[in-house]
Structure 1
Amino acid sequence: MLGLPLLWSPEALWQWNALMRVLGITGAFLFFYSLLQLPLNYRQKRLWAWLLLAASLGQIGLTSMQVFYSNAIYLLEFNPLRARPHGIFQQPNVLASFLATGLLLAIWLFTTTRNTAASLILIISLLAHSAWLVMIQSRIGGLGALAGTFALGLLCFRRKLFWLALAIAFSGAAIASLGMPEAIAGIDKSGSNVERLLTLKYSLQMIAEHPWLGWGYGGFEHEFVRYVFSEGMLPPLGLRKMTHPHNELLLAWVEGGIIALAGMLLLIVAWFRLIPAPGKTCKRVSATAFWIMTLPIALHTMTEYPLYQSAPHIFVLMVLCRMAAPEQDIQSRGTEQSYRIAASVLMVAAFSLALFMFSGLQTNAALTQTERHQLVDFPQRTARLINPWAQFKRLEYDRYVSYLLDYNQTGDIKLLQAYRPWAENYLRTHNDANTYWSLIRVYQLNGDSRNAALYRAAAQFLFPGDKRFH
């Protein structure tokens, strides 16, 4: 159902954008289905929980380096005075929902652990996770952590260790809030609140106009700002760059109509059906706990789009859903062959994800360094990229901007001829003032005053405060 709206999306480039999203969802569910072929006992699930917690602690280590390591601005391409820490995710809220999941893992493991050494590690984990959730200053991260902790409390309120874990976590949060390091930039969210409310308002109005078929799969960024202008409002800068309504249900309905909305609702129903039947057995309690641990990421999808920004979030969400799934149903249909296949798929997926993540760090560092040097020697610098797919859109954008810079040095008209069709296609999907300005200049240099005037008029409409277009 999520793929059907591709059939009536009016622009091929919009269809391509949406197709990547549909393929991502399909890949996630194929991975989840492979995991369902793999029977897991309680001990194996605890091992997986420890591995997920280790991944979260790894992000805390990297985040700590970003803030407290004096050479972070050079080695990690991060300036803590200008931005909040983001780990490998390039976005603080994405890091926050990942750490909120780690906090819930630490609470549950501490509540169910009797080993002294493991308990000491978990105490450190509880303090670190709660402290960093405060310092990142993410509302959705905090909401996910609080909602998950409350739900775990309903499940484990009779266990004294749960209340001890809660006290430790609150201690870490209190210490962080009282002694926030000066190295971490503060953030004013008042403007963000206004933009969120305006986005909700106009998204609902767009739905009211085209509730059945939507405005076109993959075309939200292009259509949203034009709709806001058509309503007679001069939107703030943030709304002009809006690529997503910050809610998966809204995105599906605005773009794909009632069919896409129905597909999203089916996904939500399937997620709720993973909740185990009530019971006090160890297996049922642990399965319920694992479902609760999906809350931070699930809630995040209702306010932003973490699953498009982070492959690790998809991986963690699918693994936790598998750990919450009823084991008796899996074992009843599992075979030795399916077990081997699933184990192989899981091993390959985990290795591939780790490789993609770490090679993506190299891609980000290389592109940042190249941009810092004004894209000089762009082909030579990017030829060394291990994983160009990690930030493919950013790479393509930089490549075509480098054509313009090279033209300024060489006067090679072929560079402008290569830039023009890319920019035209880019602006069919995205709203970018710099690309509009560059394309207008290319048309002027080619003597095409008609198209230059058309794109200037469009840019004046979208960016009325930009003096370049007047």
Structure 2
Amino acid sequence: MVIVLFVSIFISLCLYIPSSGGQGVYFPFNLVMVGIYGIAIIMLWRSSNKRRVVNPQPFIKLGYLLLLLPWLVSVQRSPGVIILLLAGVALWLLSRVSIRAGSKKKILQAIFVLALVECAIGLIQTFLPNLALHWFEYNWLRNQGRPFGIFQQVNLFGSFLATGMGCGFLLLVQEKRALLRRSYVCGLCLMAFILMLNQSRTGQLGAILIIILLALLFTFQEPSRVLASISPMLVCALAGVWVVHHITVNVDGQLYTLGRDYSASTHIRMNILKVTWQMIMDKPWLGWGYGAFSAQFTRYMAAHPELNPGHLGGWIPHPHNELLFAWFQGGVIAFSGVVLLVLGWLKNMVLALQKGKLAAGYSLLIIPLGVHLNLEYPFYQSFFHLGVFVLLLRLGMVESAVNWESVERYKTGKIGSLVATVSAVVLVGYSAIGLYTNAQLTHYERVGLADFPATLPWYFYTQPRRAEFDSMVALLVDYNVTHQEADLSRFMVWSAQWIKRNTDTNVLLSRIMIMRYRGDIRGAQEMQHLYDVIKSPVQQGPRG
């Protein structure tokens, strides 16, 4: 069963499924992971039914509950909390399973191999643009040659490579066989090279931190091995930097370099953090609520022109810092939850150090994804990253001592087994139906929503917001043919509610045109001001 799970993940990290982008369940790769996690639930339940060895730290339990509870109250407006709930269930199940040293090593090897697979995809995307366009719909010019693997986002790719480097380095320092050591070094060198091509500062910072910390942890124990591995990694990283700034790639007959400028991105991020902090100070206790950050942020910017809205670079779905995001949405309760989670990890780190360097090394492995949480928003874009984070968090937990001869076997009963089975079936079924829905909606979107069904099929409700959006835009397409005023009226009623919780320039532009057509000059001016705030001089949001 474990082999089936690994093969499923391996295949999902190799095959591109056509889509229109997005995040959460609108991204087909995430839907695939939902189905795989359904299979994992059955495996974990059966394993947890045998022996219970570990309890998460109390800080982690309490912090998770504080983060979860205010979000659950807003589940209808922000259904992403369901994924967080599933992640908590997964961590609880993992905490009931003893993971022996050999199994931990195999898990690290699996992550390392998967990272190497993504490296191969990254090489294709950077140096073979025509092939990448055919296999992965990778637009070299739009991404400036920066590979994003299967994740459709450069920082997700960078952070996963950094995580793979941490796993590979920890494997290297405990490996005794020379051939495997050389293999790990080669893999680490490739990852360092690709990470420089990727140019994700988030990924690079995560990689630097995890390698330095692990090196400091093991230098006195294995000095020659540590130095012998870091040196070629550094050489390959420098080679990647040289390639970025000196090698050109032929795209449609034109030569382009890979280098990019970070100044605009840095300025944008600082503005985002400044405005987010100001909004938090306006409502520090209860927060602004869940599910409408982008709309609230944009309206706040429109009402406060002194905050320099002209340099924010487009609509902002997230402040790029999970601590601030939790505080912004859920107030001090959610903020306290995140703080307690961090304290729980730090406490476990102390316990791991007391147990030994290897245990401490396992506790450090979540650092690249932890860095990503403070600079990006990975778990909303990639359920795979969330699963890896939960798994590595569990690997870093110090297990209580167990007498393997006399350990008590826990019986969970038929009800628990039924709940686990039903949950797994629901997740796998939702994954399959959601993937079919994605294929249908992607087809309609790519043909301009022609012949979009007037009545939504039942399976479209696996992606309700996307289907709702497409159906309303289809009304405008239909109006261009039929000129039925009822289509415009339905769109205006719907879009008035939509823009309260979503920032979409196309919807705003359509409302402006309809208002002008109907003579609502004042309303059109208000929408135009909001549109101008979003469409700032830097047309793309922060990507690096």
TM-score relative to the length of structure 2: 0.72
**C-alpha separation between the residues in 2 aligned to 1:186 and 1:368?**
32
**C-alpha separation between the residues in 1 aligned to 2:461 and 2:124?**
25
- Per-residue Cα deviation, 1:406-439 (whole angstroms, up to 9, x for no partner): 3323445564455344322320112222201213
Deviation of the 1:273 alpha carbon: 2.6
Deviation of the 1:287 alpha carbon: 2.5
Deviation of the 1:63 alpha carbon: 2.1
State yes or no: 1:78 paired with 2:121.
no
3-state SS, counterpart of residue 187 of structure 1:
coil
Deviation of the 1:124 alpha carbon: 2.7
State yes or no: 1:168 paired with 2:228.
no
**C-alpha separation between the residues in 1 aligned to 2:122 and 2:440?**
19
3-state SS, counterpart of residue 302 of structure 1:
helix
Q: Where in structure 1 are there 5+ consecutive unaligned residues?
A: none
State yes or no: 1:33 paired with 2:33.
no
Q: Where in structure 2 are there 5+ consecutive unaligned residues?
A: 1-65, 250-256, 536-544
**C-alpha separation between the residues in 1 aligned to 2:121 and 2:534?**
38
Q: Please tell me whether the aligned partners of residues 244 and 251 of structure 1 are also in contact (alpha carbons under 8 angstroms).
A: yes
Alignment counterpart, residue 2 of structure 1, candidates 67, 76, 79? 67
**C-alpha separation between the residues in 1 aligned to 2:378 and 2:512?**
34
**Corresponding residue of 2:252:** none
3-state SS, counterpart of residue 218 of structure 1:
coil
| Greater CA drift, 33-42 or 414-423 | 414-423
- Within-5 A mapping of 1:417-436: 418-436=490-508
Alignment counterpart, residue 64 of structure 1, candidates 110, 123, 128? 123
- Within-5 A mapping of 1:123-134: 123-134=185-196
**Corresponding residue of 1:154:** 216
**Corresponding residue of 2:385:** 313
**C-alpha separation between the residues in 1 aligned to 2:159 and 2:331?**
29
| Greater CA drift, 209-218 or 366-375 | 366-375
Deviation of the 1:392 alpha carbon: 6.7
Pair 239,227 (structure 1): closer, same or farther in 2 beyond 3 Å: farther
**Count of equivalent residues:** 449
Q: Please tell me whether the aligned partners of residues 94 and 306 of structure 1 are also in contact (alpha carbons under 8 angstroms).
A: yes
- Within-5 A mapping of 1:258-269: 258-269=332-343
- Per-residue Cα deviation, 1:375-423 (whole angstroms, up to 9, x for no partner): 445569x99xx9996x875565444323322332344556445534432
**C-alpha separation between the residues in 2 aligned to 1:339 and 1:143?**
47
3-state SS, counterpart of residue 419 of structure 1:
helix
Letter in 1 for 2:527: A
Letter in 1 for 2:259: G
**C-alpha separation between the residues in 1 aligned to 2:439 and 2:264?**
30
State yes or no: 1:90 paired with 2:158.
no
Alignment counterpart, residue 182 of structure 1, candidates 237, 244, 248? 248
Alignment counterpart, residue 366 of structure 2, candidates 294, 299, 310? 294
Pair 366,6 (structure 1): closer, same or farther in 2 beyond 3 Å: closer
**C-alpha separation between the residues in 1 aligned to 2:413 and 2:241?**
47
Deviation of the 1:220 alpha carbon: 2.3
RMSD after superposition: 3.9
**Corresponding residue of 1:139:** 201
Deviation of the 1:265 alpha carbon: 1.1
- Per-residue Cα deviation, 1:190-222 (whole angstroms, up to 9, x for no partner): 111111111222222222222222223333222
Deviation of the 1:143 alpha carbon: 0.6
Q: Please tell me whether the aligned partners of residues 107 and 166 of structure 1 are also in contact (alpha carbons under 8 angstroms).
A: no
- Within-5 A mapping of 1:333-412: 335=409, 337=411, 371-377=445-451, 396-411=468-483
Deviation of the 1:105 alpha carbon: 0.9
**Corresponding residue of 2:283:** 210
Pair 225,41 (structure 1): closer, same or farther in 2 beyond 3 Å: same
Deviation of the 1:108 alpha carbon: 1.3
Pair 329,254 (structure 1): closer, same or farther in 2 beyond 3 Å: farther
**C-alpha separation between the residues in 2 aligned to 1:232 and 1:330?**
62
User: Identity of paired residues, percent?
Assistant: 29
Comparing both chains, which one has the higher relative contact order based on Cα–Cα distances under 8 Å and sequence gaps of 6 or more?
A: 2
Q: Please tell me whether the aligned partners of residues 168 and 188 of structure 2 are also in contact (alpha carbons under 8 angstroms).
A: yes
TM-score relative to the length of structure 1: 0.82
